[in-house]
């Protein structure tokens, strides 16, 4: 039962960070950027393992963060230098980085390193394997994200809402983008172990999407409402999903959290719609 509390604590911490970052991603119409980063970390995980040969969370996380950043950098470079549409560029980067990661993983597997067997937990998450020191890592990441968000809310608000105006009064929009990128990568790396790369974007997007929808319905459209709603929803969903996954011990935790969250989203979307029609 102690393990259950660990998992829950880790999950709740992660929920706070993803909810905050998710709101910004949704507001900036960069919802799928999270998905790109989540796939983009894979080559880094593989490389870090290849270089050090041990499955140490710290080392793998550093690798993940570096390659996550590279994937975003590559995305922005292509955006600036080609006339391709954004979603095309995202699909290119996402599949290329994933292919690279996969190629490295297969290479490692062929080399017969015995430690490789745990690496797939990065893909779907294995919340059950969370240790106290992982929670410490999550705690630091969450505190950092919350702190940055409090500190630079106006910065992100201005640059997101009206980029041209922000530039015209001399606000560094590029730095704001980097800041968000940093928060995004920090959150995704922190969540790698419990949710996994593939479903990471659900924890970022779905609560933020619901929050945006609800805030409009209750006519309280401001940033703080969005953050509070999104955090609250995400925490409840994590508690629900984690409990459910304990009923089916064979299944990974991440997908359960996502399913609970999505069903909640679909439910809320329908009910509200019927009301507005009547």
Partner 1 sequence: MQDLWIIICVGLMGISCSILGCFLILRKMGMLTDAIAHSILPGIVIAYLISESKNNFIILLVATIFGVLTAFLTTWINRRLPNRGDTATGITFTFLFAVGIILVTLFAEQADIDQECVLFGEMLYIPFDTLDFFPEIPRAFPLGLCVFLCVLIFIKKAYRPLWMITFDENYALSVGISVSLWHYLLVSLVSMVTVASFELVGSVLVVALFVIPPATAYLVSNNLKKMIKLSTVFGLISVILGYYISVIFGGSSAASIVITETLIFLCVLIFSKLTKNNFNYVK
Partner 2 sequence: MTKQNVIILKNIHVGYFEQKIFEDFSCEIPSSQMVGIVGANGSGKSTLLKAIMGLIPNQSGSIEIFGKTLQEVRNRVAYLPQKDSIDWDFPASVLEVALMGLYKEFGLFGKVTKQHKEKAMLYLEKVGMADKAKKQISELSGGQQQRVFLARAFAQEADLYLLDEPFVGVDVATENLLIDLLKNLVTAEGKTIVMVHHQLSTVSKYFDYLLLLKEGKIVKKGNIEETFTEENIQETYQFIK
User: Site residues (CB under 8 A) for partner 2?
Assistant: 27, 29, 83, 151-152, 154-155, 157-158, 160-165, 167-171, 212, 215, 219, 221-223, 225-226
Tabulate helix, strand, coil % of the chain (nearest 5): 85, 0, 15
Taking CB under 8 A as the binding criterion, the range among 4-12, 77-85, 146-154, 159-167 that sits at the site for partner 1 is: 77-85
Task: Please report how close the Cβ of residue 82 comes to partner 2 at its closest, in angstroms.
Answer: 9
Please, which residue, 113 or 163, has the CB nearer to partner 2? 163
Cα distances from 18 to residues 75, 98, 208, in angstroms, run: 21, 22, 9
Using CB under 8 A, which residues numbered 126 to 185 contact partner 1? none
Figure out which of the listed residues 94, 176, 185, 186 binds partner 1, where binding follows CB under 8 A: 94
Binding characters for partner 1, 8-37, by CB under 8 A (x = yes): ------------------x--xxxx-xx--
Cβ(235)–Cβ(177) below 8 Å = no
Task: Please report how close the Cβ of residue 82 comes to partner 1 at its closest, in angstroms.
Answer: 6
Cα–chain-centroid distance for residue 209?
Answer: 14
The one of partner 1, partner 2, none whose footprint includes residue 248, by CB under 5 to 8 A per kind, is: partner 1
Cβ(57)–Cβ(193) below 8 Å = yes
Angstrom distance (rounded) from CA 145 to CA 237:
20
The one of partner 2, partner 1, none whose footprint includes residue 163, by CB under 5 to 8 A per kind, is: partner 2
Angstrom distance (rounded) from CA 186 to CA 72:
13
Please, which residue, 110 or 169, has the CB nearer to partner 2? 169
Please, which residue, 1 or 164, has the CB nearer to partner 2? 164
Angstrom distance (rounded) from CA 258 to CA 101:
24
Question: What sign does the CA torsion over 240, 245, 246, 252 have?
Answer: negative
| H helix runs in 28-128, sequence order | 33-40, 42-52, 57-81, 86-111, 121-124
Task: Please report which helix (H) or strand (E) contains residue 114, including its range.
Answer: none
Cβ(189)–Cβ(22) below 8 Å = no
Using CB under 8 A, which residues numbered 43 to 72 contact partner 1? none
The residues of the shown chain that bind partner 1, judged by CB under 8 A, are 26, 29-32, 34-35, 39, 79-82, 84-85, 87-92, 94-96, 98-100, 102-104, 106-107, 109-110, 120, 123-124, 198-199, 201-202, 204-206, 208-209, 212-213, 248, 250-252, 254-256, 258-259, 262-263, 265-266, 269, 272-273
């Amino acid at each position: 039962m102690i393990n259950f509390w660990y998992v829950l604590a880790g999950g709740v911490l992660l929920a706070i960070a993803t909810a905050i970052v998710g709101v910004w991603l949704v507001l900036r119409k960069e919802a799928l950027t999270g998905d790109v980063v989540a796939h983009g970390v894979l080559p880094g995980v593989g490389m870090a393992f290849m270089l050090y040969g041990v499955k140490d969370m710290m080392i793998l996380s550093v690798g993940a963060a570096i390659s996550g950043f590279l994937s975003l950098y590559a995305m922005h470079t292509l955006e600036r230098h080609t006339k391709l549409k954004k979603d095309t560029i995202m699909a290119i980067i996402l599949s290329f980085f994933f292919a690279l990661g996969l190629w490295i993983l297969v290479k490692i597997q062929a080399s017969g390193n015995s430690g490789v067997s745990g690496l797939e937990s990065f893909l779907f998450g294995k919340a059950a394997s969370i240790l106290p020191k992982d929670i410490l890592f999550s705690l630091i990441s969450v505190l950092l994200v919350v702190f940055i968000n409090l500190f630079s809310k106006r910065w992100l608000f201005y640059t997101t809402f009206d980029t041209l105006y922000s530039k015209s009064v001399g606000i560094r929009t590029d730095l704001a983008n980097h800041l968000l990128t940093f928060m995004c990568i920090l959150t995704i790396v922190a969540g790698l172990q419990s949710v996994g790369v593939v479903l990471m974007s659900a924890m970022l997007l779905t609560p933020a999407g619901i929050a945006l929808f609800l805030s409009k319905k209750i006519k309280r459209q401001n940033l703080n409402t969005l953050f509070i709603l999104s955090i609250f929803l995400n925490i409840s969903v994590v508690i629900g999903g984690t409990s459910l996954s304990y009923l089916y011990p064979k299944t990974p935790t991440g997908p359960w959290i996502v399913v609970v969250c999505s069903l909640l989203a679909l439910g809320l979307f329908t009910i509200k719609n019927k009301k507005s029609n009547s």
